[in-house]
Homo-oligomer: A and B are copies of this chain.
């Protein structure tokens, strides 16, 4: 804990406690307190981006401090907040600390409110990294898997062997976190060439909660379709990678053919789901980390959105 603190940590903590005390003890002097909050924000908010990499490093440092020290103390103070109420218009979004804005950014991404987005905002680099490498991502993945399994167990399987569950591959069954750890956890724009080199290693680890879900869904008697945006050229390495990580006995692995190259994932995956329906399958479950895995036409009876704040695929 202590070794992660930076130089100004104690000063900032004291300043924050002072401001929090001022807000709590002088509710009648709200106007003055507001000025002080704005000063606090001015200290922590990064300047408009000029040198992206320096900005990012600054943002990382600032947010790390923010994250570990000040943000829970000042921002989430229930007494102060409830006095203002959700209806008040005293705060503006830009004045909120980056940590609060970045939580909103990540939630908005997961609820499909940001579409389309290109890269993680520079000010959210540390937030996203902390989320992915901490307990939050893991916890979110496990809860989605649990909800999926509960639904799968209760699903009315027809016994005709035509009930299907679709899994996406990247960030759904296999994790590319080792790759993204070397590429800013989504801060860098997606680089197809570099990513392909990583895919061709065949070393993406399984997401443990997804592996458990996969096995349970299979044992329940669902037909399993793996529907991935990876290209047919990566078929062999994808099969090898999946097998090595414990994924076996799927019914069909569908990869993007040359004719699908220019389609959005939403269109490509909707077309493939339509083909499954035409072949007589009933799609009861669909797991994916992108909304383009789940939305479109021939949608599954129930869809499960795995978290992914690193990239967006239309």
A residues lining the B interface (CB < 8 Å): 1, 3-4, 17, 20-21, 24, 64, 67-68, 71-73, 75-79, 81-82, 85-89, 91-93, 96, 100-101, 103-105, 107-108, 110-115, 129-130, 132-144, 146-148, 175, 177, 181, 205-208, 302-305, 307
Contacts and interface: CB of A to CB of B under 8 A. Distances in A.
Contact of A139 (B17, B78, B104): B104
16 contacts: A68-B73, A71-B72, A75-B134, A76-B134, A78-B134, A82-B181, A87-B206, A92-B142, A93-B139, A93-B146, A104-B142, A107-B307, A108-B143, A108-B144, A110-B111, A114-B147
Given A1-B17, A86-B175, A140-B104, A135 B73 contact: no
A105 B1 contact: no
B93 A143 contact: yes
A78 B130 contact: yes
| Copies of this protein, total | 2
Contacts of A75: 134-136
Interface of A is mostly: helix
A26 B147 CA distance: 35
A88 B206 CA distance: 9
A6 to B, nearest CB: 14
Contacts of A206: 87
Contact of A73 (B1, B85, B92, B146): B1
A109 to B, nearest CB: 10
A133 B82 contact: yes
